[in-house]
Every structure is written in C-alpha cells, then in structure tokens.
Amino acid sequence: MSGTVLIAAGGTGGHLFPAESLATALGRLGVTVVLATDTRVGEIAKTFPASRVVEIPSGTPSGGSLVSKGIAALKLGRGVLAALRLIRTLKPDCVVGFGGYPTVPPLFAAATLGVPTIIHEQNGVVGRANRFLMGRVSAVATGFPSVTGLPDSLGAKTYHTGNPVRPAVLAAAGTPYSATRPDEPLRLLAFGGSQGARIMSEIVPAALASLPPEARGRISIVQQARPEDADAVRRLYAEAGIKAEVAPFFKDLPARMAAAHLVIGRSGASTVAELAGIGRPSILVPLPGAIDQDQAANARSLAEIGAATVIMQPDFTPERLAAEVAAHLANPAGLTESARAAKSAGVLDAAERLASIVLTLAKIPVPDGHHQEISS
C-alpha cells in the first residue's frame, strides 16, 4: 500500500476528531497522511497521526464589519496560494476536508489543480465552508442520512458514511447499557464542550438540588465545569447531598459516557455520533445563535427515534430539567429503550467507509477485506 492523502480540518475538536479517525484508518492501510489546519490546533498537533502538520492561513469572511471581512478574504487568498505551493510539492493522491474555513484554501487549490477532493459534512445542515466547496469537489460524504442544504443535483456524488469516532469511543461502544430500577442509583453525565459548559454549571446543579431528598440520594453525577465555576458547582452538590465528581476536563469522556444512565449535553456532531455509537440516552440542549442551526438538526436526528429529549436553551431551566430527571427516576425503563434506540443509529465503521471512498477516488489499491464501494 502506498499513496499520500492531505487532510484539511479546522483546529477545533469538532473537526479534528473525525479527521483524526480517518487519519488513523488510512495509516493502518499504509497511506501517508499530512494535516493542513490553522493556528488553533495547539496540543492536538502533537498526537495527530500525520507525518506532517502544516498551518495554512485562513479567515472567516461571514459576520463582522466590512474591514474584518476584507481582512478574512485576504487571509483566505494567502491560504490558497500557500495551499497551491503545498499541493504542488506534496503531490497528494487525494485531499479531504472536514469543514470550517481553514479547509477552503486546500480544497479550492486541490480542485483547481485537478486533484481528487472530498468534503465530509459532520452536521445535519451543510456548513458555510462546505456549501461553498460542495459544487467543486469530487465527492461529498455525510455524517447523517439526511442533510439540509445538500442539493439533489449532488446526489450522484454524495455518500452517507456516518461520523468517524475516536478509538476511545469504539472501545466504550462495547460496554452494554446497565439498566437501573426505581429503587437504584441513577448515574448522570453533564458536559457542554468549550462553548457550553457555563450553562450546564448554571442549570444542572440547581435542577438536581431542587429534587426531593430521596431523589437526590439516588443521583450521582459527573460534570464538566469551567475552572472558574468548578468550586461553586461542587459546593452546590455538597449542600444538596448529591454525590458528584466535577472537573474542567475529562480525558476519558467516552468511558464516562458508557458508564452513565443519562447524558446531558450539547449536540455537536461528534457528541451525537458518540452517543449513538456507545448507545446512551440523552437530554440535548443545542447551542443557540448558530447561523446554520446545525446543533438543532443534529439533536433532532436522535429525538426522532426516541433516543434523546431536546430542550432549546430558552426552555432549559432548572424547573424543566428537574421535571425530566424526576420522570426518569420514576420510570428508568424508558431510558433503556432510549439507549437501544440510540445504539441503532450508531455507525462504528464510519472511518473505514470514508477511507474506502478516499482510496477509490485516489486510485490507491483497496486491500482485501476493506469496503470496496459505498452506496450513495
């Protein structure tokens, strides 16, 4: 096996986690991977399974003043020139983008030079960068079976692969759901990601503390809280007599997810894919204010099959959350059904599916036992 694939991904976990999964799958097949990203990549670059990590200039031309839009456009232009130089030197067999404006220069440059290109849309709504690119690329892969904003005219080159998940998620997916009964403990996990931990710190402790003493005694919770909120969250739980573990970050979050009876969180594409892959019921609070409302679309995919309850942020109050948790304490059998529904939506071989499309487009020989074709 040989070949080189350039992966382009914005420097945040939502884009880098599925990119890392694809890079791992390609690496197992002997393919050389190079990552093109932006300055936000930070520590992740040290562990990303690529032979090189290259920073490409980029900007976000949507929103802000005319001056800021102009500066962003100039950065994108510089990024395209840098990407053209990189691709001419690297000569990749394929370029794969995972969304965000940092993917625009490499994908645009590759398409201009006639290199096979793929974009992967993780969300239930096509993002702005992918919307710009989707008519120019060789193939479009999607994380969800149905994606808003994807025109029918692209159907022939669109493939549903699912969202690639990290190795830790694949390991956690082997843990069966541990059903509980009305007289047994209920284990909760609450996290919000970089943009959502604050609202969880404000609402979740207050909701659980408002429950009757008997209910509070049955609950144990693992909660992500920002460093500036952590002490206050711990104090609230201690005063309410609720067993709690609070930290700003959990390295073993997939394992914590597998240990939970109920997850409370945002609905980014990676979170939704992990909930489905591991098979855990959830209460999802989509991040408000997003132009594309992608998290709301992601959350609906689980809500429609009975795997999640969706609460929009204006309705996410201590009273509403307390009522939801109280209902699950009284009837935990419903959680078991929701866990089964979530598991039915999991796609654990998404990275391999996507790798197969990459190999086919790049004309890199597909090893025996690997997916040869993916139906669109």
239-285 per-position pLDDT tens digit:
999 999 999 989 899 999 999 999 999 999 999 999 999 999 999 99
Residue pLDDT, tens place only, 142-179 = 999 999 999 999 999 999 999 999 889 999 999 999 99
Stretch 46-73: mean pLDDT: 73
Domain boundary assignment for the chain? 4-165+348-362, 170-344
pLDDT band at 337 (very low <50, low <70, confident <90, very high): very high
Average pLDDT over the chain, rounded to an integer: 90
What does residue 181 show for φ and ψ, rounded to 5 degrees?
Answer: -120, 170
Residues 6+ apart with CB under 8 A from 264: 188, 189, 190, 191, 200, 204, 282, 283, 285, 321
Model confidence pLDDT, tens digit, residues 277-325? 999 999 999 988 766 688 999 999 999 999 999 999 999 999 999 999 9
Instruction: Report pLDDT for 197.
Output: 75
Q: Give the pLDDT of residue 305.
A: 97
Q: Which helix (H) or strand (E) holds 136?
A: none
Query: Would 4-165+348-362 and 170-344 be classified into the same CATH topology?
Result: yes
Q: Do residues 199 and 313 make contact, with C-beta atoms less than 8 angstroms apart?
A: yes
**Which is nearest to 43 in space by CA: 70, 15, 11?**
11
pLDDT at 376 over 70: no
Q: What is the DSSP letter of 125?
A: B
Return d(Cα 252, Cα 231) in angstroms, integer: 21
The class (CATH top level) of 170-344 is alpha beta
Q: How confident is the model at residue 372 (pLDDT cuts 50, 70, 90)?
A: very low
Please calculate the CA angle 49-56-112 and round it to the nearest 5 degrees. Answer: 100
Q: Residue 265's Cα: distance from chain center in Å?
A: 12
- Look at 204 and 54; give whichever has higher pLDDT: 204
Q: State yes or no: pLDDT of 373 exceeds 60.
A: no
pLDDT for 44 beyond 70: no
**pTM for the complete prediction?**
0.89
Architecture (CATH level 2) of domain 4-165+348-362: 3-Layer(aba) Sandwich (3.40)
Q: Single out the residue of 83, 214, 76 nearest to residue 132, CA to CA.
A: 76
Q: In what order do the strands lie in the sheet with 32-37?
A: 52-55, 32-37, 4-8, 94-97, 117-121, 139-142, 158-160
Q: At 72, which amino acid appears?
A: A
